[in-house]
Amino acid sequence: MTTTSSAEHTRRDFLFVATGAVAAVGAAAAVWPLISQMNPDASTIAAGAPIEVDLAPIAEGQDIKVFWRGKPIYIMNRTKKQVEEARAVPVSSLPDPQTDQARVKEGHDQWLVVIGICTHLGCIPIAHEGAYDGFFCPCHGSVYDTSGRIRQGPAPLNLPIPPYAFVSDTKIKIG
């Protein structure tokens, strides 16, 4: 059986307290990066974090382009006329048949949100250009309508819709 001297006790207590103090400092140091991580930095956003977009500044008939996962996303506040035109076309006449209703969120029919990458060879189409007042791809002349559906040119498919949801009447979350 061994006994521990009071000197050893003191030394061991000191080591224990010192180690505890280092652990506490380490824990405090670890908290800051965690807190700062709550706001995703640019590289995190580029890697795929969801982004929120305020729609309030986009006037009727205008659009904005934002980036999500490095891809251009067009958000268009369509006029009543643009929505009506998109819905008047017989779906069966379209190269990639899809109703306008299937491409927007119910109750937010004026908002079109599409990935701005041409489905032909990947150029970025220009908004509010082309015969259908939608998008025009200058690379090889593909023309998309106000629903982002392919109407003319070599592109085989409609502009894709990214995953998104309305978090309020004037804000969407993409991703």
- Token couple for 79: 């006029």
72 binds ligand FES (CB under 6 A): no
Main-chain dihedrals φ then ψ at residue 73, nearest 5 degrees: -120, 125
114 binds ligand FES (CB under 6 A): no
Q: Choose which of 121, 126, 131, 165 interacts with ligand FES (CB under 6 A).
A: 121
Q: Stretches 24-32, 98-106, 138-146, 164-172: which one binds ligand FES (CB under 6 A)?
A: 138-146
Main-chain dihedrals φ then ψ at residue 15, nearest 5 degrees: -60, -40
Sheet holding 71-77, edge to edge: 63-68, 71-77, 111-115
CB of 124 to ligand FES, least distance (A): 9
> Rounded distance, CA 101 to CA 110, Å?
10
153 binds ligand FES (CB under 6 A): yes
> Rounded distance, CA 3 to CA 64, Å?
78
Catalytic residue check, 9:
no
Using CB under 6 A, list all residues that contact ligand FES: 118, 120-123, 137, 139-142, 153-155
Q: Give the active site residues.
A: 140
